[in-house]
């Protein structure tokens, strides 16, 4: 199985992780194994890489790509948001580094039947973990107009969210919206013609919003940063690539909390809450793709990399 995916900010991630040969690393979003390959080849026999992904297709493809390094890799079919439980189950207390490449992979977009893409007609699905029952069909056909408005506006940052929600509810009163093609047509009707003439595809933000809702992506990200950051060894690095402002804002805020966790009122002369800093933020401004990468890989255009270094506490 070919799992086509060009790893974004690959060199920058590897440099930021500062990989030690005998270290323990986590790739929380393994995908096709591009980042994992570069991490694994830098490990020696004493090193270990935990590859996490909830997509079964990703596991099948990555095991082929990573075949030369299987002696130092542990594959886990799970969601990276469960990193605390995963490490506990593996008997690992601390790690030397963790990488997260957030969002949908090129392969998932290319696999039309998964329903991630607004460019191909397919059943409304968008589940990253196909063993789960809740899908895009449920969001589109069972959420109230107010709930749809909230999801599309909050997660898609779509200015026409209210109108799109109204049109979806009106359309499904006639018959259920079952395919991506049907949903795209509803969105096109809802977005005024003048607003469709420039900017991204009119369905892009709505599809993004529904995908985030189906997979609980933002809640998962917050949890993973808190739990992953707390498991870093001294000098261990947490590297996260995001692709839109909502994700980047969460990473920025959670990193800041890891660095300055105290919740005491500013007038307190000493800290009373007992919360201890977990390390320091390495990237005050995010690392962006190079000009060369932007030319070679259009998926990298909105990518941002932020890095946090643990202190082992």
273 domain residue, yes or no: yes
Looking at the structure, do residues 260 and 274 belong to the same domain, yes or no?
A: yes
Q: Looking at residue 187, which CATH number applies to its domain?
A: 1.10.150.170
- Write the DSSP string, 146-188: HHHHHHHHHHH--TTHHHHHHHHHHHHHHS---BHHHHHHHHH
**Residue pLDDT tens, the chain, 313 long:** 445 556 889 999 999 999 999 999 999 999 889 999 999 999 998 999 999 999 888 899 899 999 999 999 999 999 999 999 999 999 999 999 999 999 666 555 556 678 888 888 999 999 988 888 999 999 999 999 999 999 999 999 999 999 999 999 999 999 999 999 999 999 999 999 877 767 688 999 999 999 999 999 898 999 999 999 999 999 999 999 999 899 999 999 999 999 999 999 988 888 889 899 999 999 999 999 999 999 988 878 889 999 999 999 9
Q: How far is CA 82 from CA 170, 239, 256, in A?
A: 38, 17, 21
Looking at the structure, do residues 39 and 117 belong to the same domain, yes or no?
A: no
Looking at the structure, do residues 118 and 210 belong to the same domain, yes or no?
A: yes
Looking at the structure, do residues 26 and 99 belong to the same domain, yes or no?
A: yes
- The predicted pLDDT at position 1 comes to 44
Number of domains composing the chain: 2
- The predicted pLDDT at position 139 comes to 98
- The predicted pLDDT at position 131 comes to 86
The region, left, alpha or beta by phi > 0 then psi within -120 to 50, assigned to residue 306 is beta
Looking at the structure, do residues 85 and 230 belong to the same domain, yes or no?
A: yes
Q: Are 66 and 42 in contact (CB under 8 A)?
A: no
Range of the domain at 162: 113-215
Q: Where are the alpha helices (DSSP H) in 22-121?
A: 34-40, 56-65, 83-90, 106-110
Looking at the structure, do residues 44 and 192 belong to the same domain, yes or no?
A: no
Among 150, 185, 215, identify where a domain stops: 215
Q: Looking at residue 305, which CATH number applies to its domain?
A: 3.40.50.150
Tokens of residue 244, six digits: 């839109």
5 domain residue, yes or no: no
Residue 269: phi and psi, rounded to 5, are -70, -30
- The predicted pLDDT at position 106 comes to 56
Looking at the structure, do residues 102 and 227 belong to the same domain, yes or no?
A: yes
Among 169, 184, 215, identify where a domain stops: 215
Looking at the structure, do residues 236 and 209 belong to the same domain, yes or no?
A: no
1 domain residue, yes or no: no
CB neighbours of residue 68 within 10 Å: 10
164 domain residue, yes or no: yes
Looking at the structure, do residues 144 and 200 belong to the same domain, yes or no?
A: yes
Looking at the structure, do residues 230 and 292 belong to the same domain, yes or no?
A: yes
Looking at the structure, do residues 161 and 233 belong to the same domain, yes or no?
A: no
Among 182, 215, 248, identify where a domain stops: 215
154 domain residue, yes or no: yes
């Amino acid at each position: 199985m070919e799992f086509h995916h060009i790893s974004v900010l690959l060199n920058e991630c590897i440099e930021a992780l500062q990989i030690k040969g005998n270290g323990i690393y986590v790739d929380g979003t393994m995908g096709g194994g591009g980042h994992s390959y570069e991490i694994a080849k830098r490990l020696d026999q004493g090193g270990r890489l935990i590859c996490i992904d909830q997509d079964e297709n990703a596991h099948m493809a990555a095991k082929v790509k990573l075949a030369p390094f299987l002696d130092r890799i542990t594959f886990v079919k799970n969601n990276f948001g469960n990193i605390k439980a995963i490490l506990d189950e593996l008997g690992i207390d601390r790690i030397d580094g963790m990488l997260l490449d957030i969002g949908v992979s090129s392969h998932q977009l290319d696999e039309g039947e998964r329903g991630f893409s607004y460019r191909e007609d397919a059943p409304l699905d968008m589940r990253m973990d196909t063993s789960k029952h809740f899908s895009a069909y449920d969001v589109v056909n069972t959420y109230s107009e107010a709930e749809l408005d909230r999801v599309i506006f909050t997660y898609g940052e779509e200015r026409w969210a209210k109108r799109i929600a109204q049109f979806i509810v009106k359309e499904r009163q006639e018959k259920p919206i079952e395919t991506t093609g049907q949903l795209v047509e509803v969105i096109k009707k809802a977005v005024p013609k003048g607003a469709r003439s420039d900017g991204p595809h009119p369905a892009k933000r709505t599809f993004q919003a529904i995908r985030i809702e189906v997979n609980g992506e933002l809640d998962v990200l917050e949890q993973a940063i808190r739990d992953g950051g707390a498991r870093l060894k001294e000098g261990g690095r947490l590297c996260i690539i995001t692709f839109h402002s909502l994700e980047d804002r969460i990473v920025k805020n959670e990193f800041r909390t890891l660095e300055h966790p105290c919740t005491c009122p500013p007038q307190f002369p000493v800290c009373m809450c007992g919360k201890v800093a977990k390390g320091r933020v390495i990237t005050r401004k995010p690392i962006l793709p190079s000009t060369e990468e932007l030319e070679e890989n259009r998926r990298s255009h909105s990518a941002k990399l932020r890095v946090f270094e643990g202190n082992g506490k």
